[in-house]
Each structure stands twice: as C-alpha cells, then as structure tokens.
Amino acid sequence: MTEAKKDTRPAPSRPLPNLNELDTAPFWKATGEGKLTYPVCNDCGTVVFYPRAHCTSCLSDNLDWREACGRGTVYTFSIVRQSYHPFFRGIAPYAVAWIDLEEGPRLASNVIEIDPDNIEIGMPVELVWEPHEDLSVPLFKPAT
C-alpha cells in the first residue's frame, strides 16, 4: 500500500481588515491592545457603530471613543455550512452573529466554542480575542 502524501502547505489565514482605513483604524488599533471600542457623539449621544468619522444622527464630527465591557447577547445569527474561502472552508460549519453589546453597539462576529446548532437568539455571550500580528479579531463565546 502506498502512503498518502502529507499536506505541508501552511494553513490558510483569516482575511484581515485594512489597518490604514481612516474611519476604522482606531478601532482596529485598539483591538491590538485588547480593547473593544466604539465611537459616541459628544453632541447628541448617539453610539456610532460601525466606526465612521461623523455621527449618523446629527452629522457632527465631535466623537469620542469608549471601551466596551465585552458582554452582549446574540441578536440573530446564521450558520454557514459551506464556504469557498480557504480559511472559512476549514472551520465550517460556523456561526456568524449580530451581537448586541451591553453599551448599545451591534456588531457582526463569529460565535465560537459552541456547536453552531446550539446557539440561540438572546443567548448571553462574552468577548474572546483571536490575536494576529497588528490587531486582534473580536469573537464571542457563550458567557460563563
């Protein structure tokens, strides 16, 4: 019997954001420091997420960044069972969810450390980091 060749190619890597994008650069820089941040308008109090250079309510550019505690709930989710991107194909099935953070922002992320078929809307989750060279990707797992 012939022995199967071992695949020695490096594992495919997760696609990562552009760190030079002006509106989101502060968000991604903070992730590299283990902080999940979001902008808030100083003029009207609107939470602005995804990060932009202006308030989505009053159009002010008077924004400050705040740090989230990392706790939230699953607003909705979808289970991806087939993906054509090499990285995601290797982890399918996986869950993509909208997470409502306690502070108000809603962001899209993956829910990990649970069988995707056991995820529920309203499920409490907590932040975990997937570290990379210049940033970390915010992911969520069931809250303990």
Domain boundaries defined on the chain? 18-67, 69-144
With a threshold of 0.85, does the pTM exceed it? yes
Tens-place pLDDT, residues 21-59: 999 999 999 999 999 999 999 999 999 999 999 999 999
Taking all residues of the chain, what is their mean pLDDT, rounded to a whole number?
Answer: 94
Per residue, the 3-state secondary structure of the chain, as one string, reads: CCCCCCCCCCCCCCCCCCCCCCCCHHHHHHHHCCCCEEEEECCCCCECCCCCCCCCCCCCCCEEEEECCCEEEEEEEEEECCCCCHHHHCCCCEEEEEEEECCCCEEEEEECCCCHHHCCCCCEEEEEEEECCCCEEEEEEECC
Per-residue pLDDT band at 7 (split at 50, 70, 90) = low
Per-residue pLDDT band at 12 (split at 50, 70, 90) = confident
Across 96-121, average pLDDT: 97
Domain 18-67 has CATH 3.30.70: no
How far, in Å, CA of 82 to CA of 60, rounded?
42
Query: Which CATH number is 69-144's, of 2.40.50.840, 3.40.1260.10, 3.30.110.60, 2.60.40.10?
Result: 2.40.50.840
Residue type, 2: T
HSE-CB for 15 with a 13 A CA cutoff: 5
Please determine, for residue 1, whether its predicted confidence score (pLDDT) is greater than 60: no
User: Contact, 91 vs 119, CB < 8 A?
Assistant: no
Please determine, for residue 126, whether its predicted confidence score (pLDDT) is greater than 70: yes
